[in-house]
Structure 1
Amino acid sequence: MADFARCLHFAKMKMGIFYALKPEQVQTLQELWNGIDTVAILPTGFGKSIIYQLLPYLIQKKTGAAEPMIAIVVAPLNSIMEDQIQSLRSKNLKGCYLSYDAKEIVTFGDNEDDIEEHSSDKETEESPTTSVLGKMFDLTELKSGRYNIIYSHPEALHTKKIQKIFHSPVYQQRVCAVAIDEVHMISEWGSEFRPAFRKLGELTVIFPNACHLALTATCTEQRKNELTDTLQYRKYTCVSINPDRPNIYLSKRSRLPNIKKIDKLDSLIEPVAVELTDKLSDFPVTIMYVENLEALGYFYQYLNSYLGKRQYTGEEIPENRIFAQYHKDYTKAMKSFIVSDLCKKKPTIRLVLATVALGMGLDAPSISRVIHCRPPTSLEAYMQEIGRAGRRGQSSEAILYYNNNDISKARKGISDSIIQYCQDDVNCLRLLLVKHFGFSETQYSGNPNGCCSNCKNAHLNK
């Protein structure tokens, strides 16, 4: 059996990776190579996906198998899976994902000519959006073990047809790893919205000889224990780093009470409209999380009226507009266009008014500001969402608006941690965040004015 370093070099060369991996990526891979189930708590944009993508080649070299092994990756959204599968095309790995109902697979690339196409344009109301980018085929090629990375919704994994495939000799012999991406969804969605997340521990039982990996950007000690119990990890290790993002300035601001509905909305969107009009294409790329569709529609019309023809970079067509809206009811084509544009080095779109439908799995390095018009219900969710800013290391900003209604204990699902965060006007916001996740120090070492609004106010009042 080859040693770990030789196996890792083999996997990297096979995938065309010629740069040095980060220490935490290597540590996670070595723990898995040693057969130890692992929880990896690594920041948004850190490069968590490369860990499980390397596993088919890593374990192939370890075992001396004639072909790369199979890794099963559980993810919550089609958009995440589509992005990942397309990225595999340049890494010598064949990837696909299971449809929500497990009736077909979706894949990309140039190797599908020999697969009999299975016509399917249907989409159920309760399922995540069907792909508009990939091609759909039946399960024949899945049964043969053709694909090295198989992405899936948890719902698909619990169907009888997929269970039968997973218990077949091909899968029992070749599945080397099961990875749960965005594992915090087990606790956030598993209770009511998508209970199939709560059953993912079954995969640990079906593949007892595979290595098991749980990935997330944020997790407290208590939550980690709950998740590993659900996943039935008997013996596991944890790889984590301080989640602080020193390039993101943290700002907290009060907003008008809900009773002053229109004034409240105007006070939130007006300064954004003024700055957008002034800077146009130089406006920092911003995601503005809006509390509901009614407010989002109001903001959109406000911007449309305020900017007029200045909202376009050329011909007056939607694709040239410098602001956009993103929510679950928006057309799939426009959602795909918005994500694609945001991922450019210099996006046309400078401001996206969004619900939480935009975010998870979004890799858009150009984003420099995240505005929350209302606090999320937990610091875990807040940390996930502000982590979408500053991925290139550029100076960025996270602005959080709140009023007393937003942090009332009567609000469904609200956690004490987000209430305390909003109410604290004295302590460093950055330190409050990292302490919540079990760290005692921040990574920021600059001027207090560039740390957070609490530190800035304290410095100015000296």
Structure 2
Amino acid sequence: MDQTDVAANALAVLNSVFGLPAFRGPQEDIVMHLAGGGNCLVLMPTGGGKSLCYQLPSLLRDGCGIVVSPLIALMRDQVAGLLEVGVKAAVLNSSLSFEEANAVEQRLLAGDLDLLYVAPERLLTPRCLGLLARAKLALFAIDEAHCVSQWGHDFRPEYIGLSVLAERFPNVPRIALTATADDLTRQEIIDRLGLDGAPSFVASFDRPNIRYEIVDKQNAKTQLEAFISQRHAGDAGIVYCLSRNKVEETAAALTKAGIPALPYHAGLDAAVRARHQDRFINEDGIVIVATIAFGMGIDKPDVRFVAHLDLPKSIEAYYQETGRAGRDGKPSDAWMAYGLADIVQQRRMIDDSNGSDAFKRVSIGKLDALVALAETAGCRRTRLLRYFGEAVADHNHKCGNCDNCLSPPNVRDGTVLAQKLLSCAYRTGQRFGAMHLIDVLIGRATERVKQFRHDQLSVYGIGADLNEKQWRAVVRQVVAQGHLQADSEAFGALKLTETARGVLKGETEVMLREETAGSSAHRGSKSKSKRGAAPSSPDTAGHAKHSGLLAALRAWRSETARKRGVPAYVVLHDATLDGIAAERPASLNQLRNISGIGDKKLEHYGDALLALVASSGD
């Protein structure tokens, strides 16, 4: 079969099985390369269609595609979705009994599987490697491939052993996929998985439907409650916190505020975690408050927001976590509350870790890049894209969908303010934290200020023209720019760095975002008013005239999903329901033309959907 025939066959399978009319971005090139027996590395954002890049070639090639995946939840959801469209798929992981696992193994050997999802630790056992050696294999897909990198944000030791695939199965094509990897991580993926010389397919990292917003942390829980209540009432969302205690407290506070929220962290009983995750996946409008133990591999497409109450460790982690919002392409928010304590805490965690000096240097560099994203006065999306090596020609580019573009902050020369702060830190002995320095600068004669006689210093009161909130912003930004840093040996103390000398001498200019007493509230309300002009509310203007039919379709989907024991989005995605409501198909042929309706879904649900359309009077 020549390339033209293979391409036509691929498009036919894409349409008949998955109900999709065309490929997106580099999908077609990846599918063709892998179907032809080539290896490759794929970098594609969450929601960009990575799964299709290995699912479709597995159907086009002889044998079974082996998908290495780190999470049981991901395997379960993807297999459920594949079964819905008529693909023979199964899992092989610790959730199966011996009898169940044995049955899956026999199906693999009999050639009765198109795709088999395997946990990395299971795959590396002698039994499983021996099983694969006796089976007809179409390809290996290593999902979440950044887990193989010790420099990555989510290193998993069991992924190191996957180098055995290139050694034991050199003639079986391998595809490594990830949504986040800087140059260092990409090279380690290539080295460890034996992908030297294989092409890298890099899709755009831009998620234009996600609005990025980072606010000055004041009372984080109150700010979060307001954000959800005012902009995402009734929506599904994920809130990330650094500690288990904070997860519990935040979930309780949201519940008390009338927002249905559930905690999720590694300290909870496994059955409780599973129950909370199932509710989040299967019910509408649930908010999960979690540590980073939650989320990777969660396929739920209608998460409308991801919020961070603590600073992540890196831009990769931030991008991965925020990418769980809006997988269906609809408008969604990535919101984060951030303050000086976040920088100090993350820096201390790096300094106190058992990692090598090289690891600590890389970790500090990654933290600095994230802090720069949080403090930038320019377009956040542009900075994100540049971090991942995606060129943005215009340095003054405005994306129109981040807080800085929608409500540009004022920027001013803050060199004199920085000099006052650095002088204060120096003259007080570099032994005190931010609040004490601010007390001295403002001229507040606290007991501690008087105890150390800092009210006698020349810097006492030299910053009285700014209030406490404004000085907090100055301290945060001077730390973010690297002129002050947390002293790992003195809890909370701020000390001068080498670059501080240039600032004090007037050789280094310090530009600061301007904070006023009401700036956060002002920027929030301004952003909210502009938000109305963006395509932010999927079920308002665009679908108001179809609301009755859409509600009926959603109710039918929920009941169908409950009966089949699968998440609602496995039955049909929101976008497919929207398409049905907008087009109002009157025949099976018309319904088949709706994106997301393949042959099997038409067979299973066609009559019921047409009956709903016919009975709807709106």
- TM-score (normalised: structure 1): 0.75
Q: Report what 2:392 is aligned to.
A: 441
Pick one of 343, 350, 355 that aligns with 1:407. Answer: 343
CA contact 2:46–2:323 (8 Å) conserved in 1: yes
C-alpha distance in structure 2 between counterparts of 1:387 and 1:231, whole Å: 25
CA distance in 2, matches of 1:218, 1:278: 31
CA contact (8 A) 2:152 2:181 kept: no
Q: Does structure 2 retain, via aligned residues, the 8 Å contact 1:204–1:232? A: yes
| Structure 2 match to 1:325 | 263
Q: Which has the larger radius of gyration?
A: 2
- Measure the CA separation in 1 of the matches of 2:382 and 2:167: 40
Structure 1 counterpart of 2:379? 428
> Could you say what secondary structure the match of 1:407 adopts?
helix
SS in structure 1 opposite 2:342?
Answer: coil
Paired residue for 1:416?
A: 365
Question: Aligned with 2:303: secondary structure?
Answer: coil
Q: 1: CA distance between counterparts of 2:395 and 2:303?
A: 20
- Which residue does 1:40 correspond to in 2? 42
Distance 1:158-1:400 versus aligned 2 partners, 3 A rule: same
Residue of structure 2 aligned with 1:354, choices 266, 279, 290: 290
Which residue of 279, 285, 299 maps to 1:363? 299
Q: What's the CA shift for 1:105? A: 5.1
Please state how far the C-alpha of 1:199 moved relative to its aligned partner: 1.5
How many angstroms does 1:154 deviate by? 1.2
Residue 83 of structure 2 is aligned to residue 147 of structure 1: no
Instruction: Sort the Cα spacing of 1:377 and 1:28 in 2 relative to 1 into closer, same or farther, 3 A.
Output: same
Q: Partners in 2 of 1:326 and 1:274 — Cα distance?
A: 22
Checking the alignment, whether the CA contact within 8 Å between 2:144 and 2:178 is kept in structure 1 is yes
Is the CA contact 1:368–1:397 (under 8 Å) kept in the aligned structure 2?
Answer: yes
Q: 1:235: Cα distance to partner?
A: 2.1
* 8 Å Cα contact 2:92/2:119 also seen in 1: yes
Deviation at 1:20, TM superposition (A): 1.3
Query: 1:369: how far off?
Result: 1.8
Q: Secondary structure at 2:61's aligned position in 1?
A: helix
* Aligned match of 1:240: 202
Evaluate the alpha carbon distance shift between residue 442 and residue 420 of structure 1 in structure 2; reply closer, same or farther with a 3 A threshold: same
Q: 91-100 vs 76-85, which deviates more?
A: 91-100
With over 3 angstroms needed to count, the CA separation of the structure-2 counterparts of 1:49 and 1:301, relative to structure 1, is same
Any residues of structure 2 matched to 1:251-330 within 5 Å, and which?
A: 251-255=213-217, 267-274=219-226, 282-304=233-255, 306-307=256-257, 310=258, 322-330=260-268
What corresponds to 1:166 in structure 2? 132
Cα 1:338/1:218, change in 2 over 3 Å: same
Q: Which of 135, 138, 148 is equivalent to 1:186?
A: 148
Give CA-to-partner distance per residue, 1:136-187, whole Å, 9 cap, x none.
Answer: 857444444432211111111221111211222xx2xx21210000111112
Cα shift at 1:216: 0.8
- The CA deviation at 1:384 is 0.8
Deviates more, 1:438-447 or 1:227-236: 438-447
Deviations 1:258-289 (A, max 9, x none): xxxxxxxxx1112333565678x834433110
Q: Give 3-state SS (helix, strand or coil) of 1:83's partner.
A: helix
Number of equivalent positions: 396
Pair 443,294 (structure 1): closer, same or farther in 2 beyond 3 Å: farther
Partners of 1:87 and 1:443 lie apart in 2 by 41
If asked which structure has higher relative contact order (CA below 8 Å, sep 6+), I would say 1
Distance in 2, matches of 1:460 and 1:190, equals 34
Structure 2 unmatched runs, 5+: 351-359, 413-513, 515-618
In the TM superposition, what is the alpha-carbon distance from 1:89 to its structure 2 partner? Answer: 0.8
Kept in 1: contact 2:88–2:114 (CA 8 A):
yes
Aligned to 1:211: 173
Please say if residues 73 and 152 of structure 1, whose CA atoms lie closer than 8 Å, have aligned partners that are also in contact.
yes
Identity rate, percent: 26
> What secondary structure does 1:242 align onto?
coil
Q: What CA deviation, in whole Å up to 9, does each residue of 1:69-108 have, x standing for no partner?
A: 21111011100111111112123322222224xxx857xx
- Other-structure match for 2:157: 195
Q: Matched residues in 2 for 1:231 and 1:380: separation?
A: 20
Unaligned 5+ runs, structure 1 = 61-68, 107-116, 120-134, 257-266, 312-321
Give the aligned partner of residue 64 of structure 1. Answer: none
Q: Which residue of 1 aligns with 2:75?
A: 81
By how many angstroms is 1:425 displaced? 3.1
Q: How far apart are the structure 1 equivalents of 2:154 and 2:378?
A: 35
Distance 1:443 1:288, change over 3 A: farther
Which amino acid in structure 2 is aligned with residue 358 of structure 1? F
Tell me the residue number matched to 1:118: 99
Could you tell me how far apart the structure 2 residues matched to 1:390 and 1:52 are? Answer: 22
TM-superposed CA distance for 1:294, in Å, is 0.8
Contact 1:186 1:197 in 2 (8 A): yes
CA, structure 1 residues 390+99, in 2 after alignment: closer, same or farther (shift >3 Å)? closer
Which structure: greater helix fraction? 2
Matched residues in 2 for 1:459 and 1:334: separation?
A: 47
| Counterpart contact for 2:146–2:154, Cα < 8 Å | no
CA distance in 1, matches of 2:154, 2:28: 36
Query: What is the deviation of 1:255?
Result: 3.2
Residue 383 (structure 1) aligned to one of 303, 319, 329 = 319
For residues 215 and 408 of structure 2, what CA distance do their matches in structure 1 show? Answer: 12
Whether the 8 Å CA contact 2:147–2:156 is kept in 1: the answer is: no
- Matches of 2:376 and 2:266 in 1, distance apart? 35
Q: Does structure 1 residue 19 correspond to structure 2 residue 13?
A: no
Aligned partners of 2:253 and 2:20: how far apart in 1?
A: 49
Distance 1:145 1:190, change over 3 A: farther
Distance across 1 between alignment mates of 2:220 and 2:73:
29
> 1:45 Cα deviation (Å)?
1.0
Task: Name the SS for the 1:406 alignment partner.
Answer: helix
Structure 1 residue 188: deviation in Å? 5.3
* 2:314–2:369 CA contact under 8 A, matched in 1: no
- 1:31 aligned to 18, 30, 33, which one? 33
Q: Which moved more, 1:88-97 or 1:377-386?
A: 88-97
The 3 A distance-change label for structure 1 pair 241 and 429 is same
Q: TM-score, normalised by structure 2?
A: 0.58
Contact persistence 1:105–1:139 (CA under 8 A)? no
2:329 to 378, 393, 396: 393
Aligned to 1:93, what secondary structure does the other structure show? Answer: coil
Which amino acid letter does the alignment assign opposite residue 269 of structure 1? K
1:297, 1:355 → 2: CA distance? 10
Q: Distance in 1 between the 2:151 and 2:243 partners?
A: 19
Give, in whole Å, the separation in 2 of the partners of 1:162 and 1:388. 32
CA RMSD of superposed structures (Å)? 3.4
Partner of 2:522: none
Say whether the 8 Å CA contact 1:105–1:137 is kept in structure 2.
Answer: no
* Letter of the 2:123 counterpart: L
State the distance in 1 between where 2:273 and 2:148 align. Answer: 25
1:394–1:146 Cα change, 3 Å: closer
- Map of 2:84 onto structure 1: 90
For 1:435, give the aligned amino acid: R
